[in-house]
Amino acid sequence: MTLVDPRKATSFRFVRSEYDNGVARLIYAFDDGPDLIERIAFQDAPPLADLRRPAFDAALQLLHLIVGVSYFKAGMPERIVIEGGGIDAQTATFMDEVYLHGLAEFAYHNKLDLRGRIRFPSTSAQPAKAPSIGLPRRTLVPIGGGKDSLVTVERLKRAGESATAVWVGDSALIEACAQRTGLPLLNIKRQLAPELFEYNKLGAYNGHIPVTAINSAILVCAAVLYGFDAIAFSNERSASVATLEYDGQSVNHQWSKGIDFERALRAHIVTHIAADLDYFSLLRPLSELAVTRAFARQTQYDDVFSSCNRNFRIRGDRPSDRWCGQCPKCHFVFLALAPFVAKPRLLGIFGRNLLDDSSQASGFDALLEYRNHKPFECVGEGRESRAAMLALSHRPEWREDAVVMRFAYEILPQLERSELALEPLLVPGGENFVPQRLTVADEAG
């Protein structure tokens, strides 16, 4: 069947989802176009126990709905069709929120207004609260290759928790980090429908999607399938802060890492999937700076971790193989670690001094929210970057570096110094769902 521009479609269809022999097939279509089939492979998946079958079916439905965002955004048709049994009103409202806020950055860049345009239909009654399904006391820890998940790993170790490091995809860098943790490993594969790339060539809408929401749904399925009663993500409280406000709407690059998504997904799991499956972020009470301080206390990951999105698919022995040194993630991680890591160690991690390169000043300006908004990246709040930069401007080993000097002489005089204190940003706080048994380990870190 010949593909057509999905922007001309009038409907987006959730056709069906299937699972057999460790592989989930998620099927979508625009109008009467060809099936778009995404495959999620759960390696060495055990047979699914009868007690867990209803929970897994409900988790698979959730996965089907959330993964659909990757395909829906190519055409943005006004009509959403859910074939088969349909969904209840609570699930429809949840999906409206995931698509509206998860695609807010996408809409901003494509000059679209999604308010009132995304409407998931509801046809079935809301189910009673999901039962417990006898999940064993074990925790899945998603590894992203950066500092945050490694801090979570070490805290779970200190708490004596039985944990498994899990990652989605084929990144050699993430695999190296997962192996370094010393935990049991689980790798889940994801294969997008090839037609999506063809649609992009035809001029389909493209842009940012809520990847953490997708990975969360994948891990909910994995927890039921393999037998884990907890999924511990590593999203800090800074992730809940919007990147910018535009036309009366908050646009947050990290929305599906924020507290609103976490709260909504937890509620859906308890009511629709399994009462004994816990989903939370262990680092939620912390700022980005508090996370980097915790990471600085350990050195075993220095030569394997990376938060750089440009070099992320590369694994090599040199720092330049892991850190491009030019992107917002490199800028922020370097700046956030600098107050807590000895300068020679930090230069060894990155292979260069990003704060002594005046050509990078504009990148750091964006982090400071100086003459620009915060970058569309997973970086901390502007006040965190400003506090870190002020701290460095007082330290002999940093204050003569080009970017730090520029901050001290050009930017700092325009700021209110009383709002730049570092210590208050290191105090845990804010809404979180960290289990009581882990709060001691959390505070100790």
Binned average pLDDT, 10 residues per bin, the chain of 445 residues: 83 97 97 95 94 96 98 95 91 97 94 91 82 97 95 96 96 91 98 93 92 98 98 96 83 94 98 97 97 96 88 50 88 96 96 94 92 84 95 95 95 86 93 87 46
User: Does one domain contain both 137 and 157?
Assistant: yes
User: Does one domain contain both 422 and 297?
Assistant: yes
Contact of 288 with 236, CB cutoff 8 Å: yes
Contacts 24+ apart (CB under 8 A), 417-425: 417/390, 419/383, 419/386, 420/383, 420/386, 420/387, 420/390, 421/387, 422/289, 422/339, 422/387, 422/388, 422/390, 422/391, 425/287, 425/289, 425/290, 425/383, 425/384, 425/387
Tokens 């009509």 correspond to what residue? 79
User: Does one domain contain both 68 and 190?
Assistant: yes
Residue 408 structural domain: 288-426
- Whole-angstrom Cα distance, residue 130 to residue 253? 32
Question: What pLDDT, on a 0 to 100 scale, did the predictor assign at position 442?
Answer: 47
In a domain, residue 439? The reply is: no
- Whole-angstrom Cα distance, residue 75 to residue 71? 8
The token duo for 358 is 């005046």
In a domain, residue 347? The reply is: yes
CATH value at residue 54: 3.40.50
In a domain, residue 202? The reply is: yes
Question: What pLDDT, on a 0 to 100 scale, did the predictor assign at position 128?
Answer: 74
In a domain, residue 170? The reply is: yes
Query: How many residues in total does the chain contain?
Result: 445
User: Does one domain contain both 31 and 175?
Assistant: yes
User: Does one domain contain both 137 and 249?
Assistant: yes
Number of structural domains the chain divides into: 2
User: Does one domain contain both 169 and 296?
Assistant: no
Tell me which of 248, 281, 314 is where a domain ends.
281
In a domain, residue 404? The reply is: yes
Question: What pLDDT, on a 0 to 100 scale, did the predictor assign at position 434?
Answer: 95
- Whole-angstrom Cα distance, residue 296 to residue 350? 14
The C-alpha torsion from 244 through 249 and 250 to 251, rounded to 10°, is: -70
- Whole-angstrom Cα distance, residue 439 to residue 443? 6
> From the centroid of its chain, how far is CA 244?
18
User: Does one domain contain both 152 and 212?
Assistant: yes
Question: What pLDDT, on a 0 to 100 scale, did the predictor assign at position 332?
Answer: 95
Question: What pLDDT, on a 0 to 100 scale, did the predictor assign at position 95?
Answer: 98
In a domain, residue 412? The reply is: yes
User: Does one domain contain both 158 and 256?
Assistant: yes
* DSSP tally for the chain: helices H, then strands E: 16, 11
Q: Are strands 249-251 and 163-168 parallel, antiparallel or unpaired?
A: unpaired
In a domain, residue 443? The reply is: no
Question: What pLDDT, on a 0 to 100 scale, did the predictor assign at position 320?
Answer: 56
User: Does one domain contain both 60 and 209?
Assistant: yes
- Whole-angstrom Cα distance, residue 274 to residue 51? 11
